[in-house]
Amino acid sequence: MDMKILPTIKSPVDLRKLRIDQLPELARDIRQAICGQIMKTGGHFAPNVGVVELTIALHYVFDFSHDRLLFDVGHQCYPHKLLTGRFPLLSGLRQKHGIAGFPDPRESDYDLFSVGHAGTSISTAVGMARGDTLKGEAFEPKTNPDGRRVVALIGDASIVNGVAMEGLNNAGTLKRQFLVVLNDNGMSIAKPQGAVAAYFDRVRVNPAFRKMKRMGKDVVSHLPGGSIVEEMYHRLGEVAKDFVTEDAWFEKFGLLTVGPIDGHDIPTLVDILLEVKSFDRPLVLHVHTVKGKGFNFAEGDATTFHSPKPFEVTNDQHLESEGCKVKLKTSGRSFTSAFGDAMIEMMKRDEKIVACSAAMPDGTGISKVLPEFPERTWDTGICESHAMDMMAGLAKTGFKPFFAVYSTFLQRAFDQVFQEVALQGLPVRLCLDRAGLVGGDGAVHHGFCDISLLRVFPNSVLMAAMDESSLKAGLEFMRNYEKGLSSIRYPRDNVSDRCEVAADEFPPFKLGKARPLLQHDQPDAAILGYGTMAISALKAVDILNGEYKINVYDARFAKPVDVDLIQSLLQRGIPIITVEDHGIEGGFGSSVIDACNERKLDARLVTRLAIPCRWIYHDSRDGQLEEAGLDPNSIARTVRHVLDASPTVEIEIKTEASEKIRTS
């Protein structure tokens, strides 16, 4: 990559030394750097290359070593990282000991929060604005011109999230500088949904935007040059009406609105930001950007290139040229793809099945279902709470709703699971993609607490899929379960063919019953693997190579667990090792311990392997499993510890669970 300017940027101080006419070349450098890295390792592509000019302009105008910059979602932070001294670290993006794919305060003081969920930036920014005011550190044009300014950057349709609305409602009450930059690219991860998204579509095609580039200079010429006087408030109000011919939606929240302006026109961005940076009221700057900007293949398919796997050019065209074609690298059939196909097959058989996703149709496999059943399938946009309540309403009217959602986003709808689903005894079915450790997205996206959250509800049934056949069988069980909430979890991984059998021979799910995978009449120990950890347990037995006789079970259920199996093993003095890709507190292993207590069984014979109670950061999924002690080698070592330890040590190991085992 031939980059001349970006390697010279050690901090935003260096950026602000550049001339305005040098900034487009810097933007090209940043796009080259991001594309070159993601081609090798994967990562968030389209959202990042879409905010390059906007990020440059923000850092050119504001000093975020002093001022506050709050990101929403965070998957558009790569240009920000490159401008804040982390260009030399880009080669380690999303890799162990490298930089995160999301803002991370461990890396830099320029990152204020670790963020990976939508809708939070405005509320956290309001909190920081209030905190700075209480401490006397807030910017005030007359009394404290050197004080801190606050900027919240929100985009990818996060503005339609309920939390964002709550933040706007409170932002309008501030009596100080507060800037919300709306990065409006007409997209979330997929096409945004709902009435608010439709409103922004109307604004975006307004003739005022088409002539915005010409108007930008005229606007600035009519504003007082950086001075804050009451006249500016009124003039900006008129400017907003010139830009947006409809009543500005944000003004209903008490925030003055300017825009939309061209988010790729650096001179106009800088001019407008210079004027609004010292405005002493809450203000929204509506910026229009193109997701995937600079790469035709990404602009034309921003959903696919939102967060692609590594990719390569499949013709001789340059990446930025119009004829360029790229090919994503694939490694096998994913659980997500298997889920989408299974849903289509079930919906063909059962007309009562309905399905939805919350802004993740591709990531959950619902994109396969939507064209097949457009009247019975919905993408609700970034609003998990609404989606959960909508599914409850559908269940109340006699339908069989399946909500496909990432495990990490399930917790955003916990109250709705409680009040509108579980308390009502409604059979809403949760399909939890990305359960467990997720790889490069790291701590902000791990699905480590879904069992803990859901097992507290009466009549809830919690399952995990081991492979594609068990996923299909679990979904079929859920289709017919009507007594309450049910869920099935599966990882961001490919399905294994280790235990595949013909569909008509695969044993169906029976409530609370495990499935034996490897059996001996008199085993030395038994491993209960939850979900894909059962496959890992079989690989661990391979590693042991006949040292011990080990029974392996596909546990299938975390609630209710197979208490009869547990009792049978423990009463014969057979140690049990539970293995799960979930947090150790409140997970499948905890369910086994609770079952032991209920039947007064000796729980000292139970050893739990699970995600330890500490944050596990970005790495490959395999690397994270190894760090957590959940890879086949670690499981094999645990078996040896359990069976070779003296009785005294054995008790200590089993009460301290997997963390003690790995350090002993």
∠ CA 198-388-122, rounded to 5°: 55
Q: Which residue has the tokens 């040292």?
A: 547
Give the integer Cα–Cα distance in Å for 630 and 143: 58
Give the integer Cα–Cα distance in Å for 99 and 272: 32
Dihedral (Cα; 16, 17, 19, 20), 10-degree rounding: 0
Q: Which 3 state secondary structure label does DSSP give 250?
A: helix
Q: Which residues pair with 140 in a beta bridge?
A: 144
Annotation says 412 is catalytic: yes
- Between the alpha carbon of residue 119 and those of residues 151, 360, 368, 495, the distances in Å are 14, 15, 27, 33
Of the candidates 275, 384, 420, 580, the residue annotated as catalytic is 384
For helices 52-61 and 266-276, give the axis angle rounded to 10 degrees. Answer: 40
Residue 128: φ, ψ to 5°: -70, -35
Of the candidates 412, 434, 515, 556, the residue annotated as catalytic is 412
Q: Which 3 state secondary structure label does DSSP give 469?
A: helix
Of the candidates 81, 86, 291, 608, the residue annotated as catalytic is 291
* Structure tokens belonging to residue 357: 């996703």
Q: Which H or E run includes 554? A: strand 550-554
**Long-range contacts formed by 504-509: CB under 8 A, 24+ apart:** 506/469, 506/470, 506/472, 506/473, 507/473, 508/473, 508/476, 508/477, 509/463, 509/473, 509/474, 509/476, 509/477, 509/556
* Structure tokens belonging to residue 356: 């939805």
Q: Which H or E run includes 311? A: strand 311-313
Give the integer Cα–Cα distance in Å for 653 and 647: 10
Annotation says 149 is catalytic: no
Going 204 to 283 to 289 to 43, the CA torsion angle's sign is negative
Is residue 104 within 8 A of residue 627, CB to CB? The reply is: no
∠ CA 59-65-69, rounded to 5°: 60
Is residue 367 within 8 A of residue 337, CB to CB? The reply is: no
Dihedral (Cα; 518, 520, 525, 529), 10-degree rounding: 20
Residue 561: φ, ψ to 5°: -75, 165
Query: What is the edge-to-edge ordering of all strands in the sheet holding 557-559?
Result: 377-379, 353-357, 400-406, 429-433, 486-489, 461-464, 557-559
For helices 52-61 and 23-41, give the axis angle rounded to 10 degrees. Answer: 130
Give the integer Cα–Cα distance in Å for 578 and 657: 10
Catalytic residues: 291, 384, 412
